[in-house]
Amino acid sequence: MPHSFCNPLRYCARPVSSWRCLLKPIAAARVCPEETHYRIDKSLVKLSEAVAEEELWAAACLRVRTFYDFDPAAFRAQDHRNYLAEREFEALKERIAGKREGFRRVSCINATLPLSHVMNASDDLCAYCKFVENGCERVVVGSLDINNCHRLPDEIAGKKPEGIGADFARAYISNVCVAKELQRNGLAHALIMESKVVAQKWGISDLYVHVAVNNIPARNLYMKSGFIFESDEPAWQARFRERPRRLLLWAGLPVNYKL
């Protein structure tokens, strides 16, 4: 899945072989400080785990749209955009199907709106992130993954819970994104709270998220959502991976013993 998105790579036309980001399957959160003037009717927002491939494709497209900056004048920019979406789509399906080593369970949680409600926000968003559900056209406007695993690749691991069975009760949030036109509508917070509900159903007791030190809006979002600081990435590791240093935030969840 996408990649080091707290400080997204600036896109330019370059050979596929040089896209180092394609080698990293999981992205930390991306929450931008940009203001938006487009307000939504929150009663029309649907938060749910994606199952249909068409919705997963729309989520993959939103992530590429959010995590990369494309130069429209770049040679074959649209082809590159589609290529990245296909890579993300296939990796997402693989993880959800349980085919990615190290991941016990993965779910893609999306925020969607009726197409008619966001048509005035962005033609590109509607065209690129649209899918059909029960005969109705909807648009994925926010997305994240919840990953039940011991640790995420290339990231520091959480410390809770300890001992035997820790892998069963620990999960990480990743790939948090919201369409830039619709930020400041509370969609990211709603997605995170929904991920907590899903995690609790899985029997997760300790939920984690990585965030770049310099991503103040994302840090504030997670603190508002009940996360607290647990540890931070060593500076040498961040330099080695050529990215901003990460913080690891933790939130404890009530365990549903009936499940």
Which of 200, 27, 182 is CA-nearest to residue 111? 182
Ramachandran assignment for 48, one of left (phi > 0), alpha (psi -120 to 50 degrees), beta (any other): beta
If you search the block for the tokens 């080593």, which residue do you land on?
101
Q: At what angle do helices 77-96 and 53-67 cross, to 10 degrees?
A: 130
Listed as own residue / partner, the contacts of 150-154 with beta carbons closer than 8 Å and 24 or more positions apart are 150/102, 151/102, 152/26, 152/210, 153/24, 153/25, 153/26, 153/102, 154/24, 154/26, 154/241
Q: Which residues pair with 232 in a beta bridge?
A: 247
Q: Would you name the residues annotated as active-site residues?
A: 222
Exposure pattern of 132-163 as b/e (b: 16+ CB <10 Å)?
Answer: eeeeeebbbbbbbbbbbbeebebbbebeebee
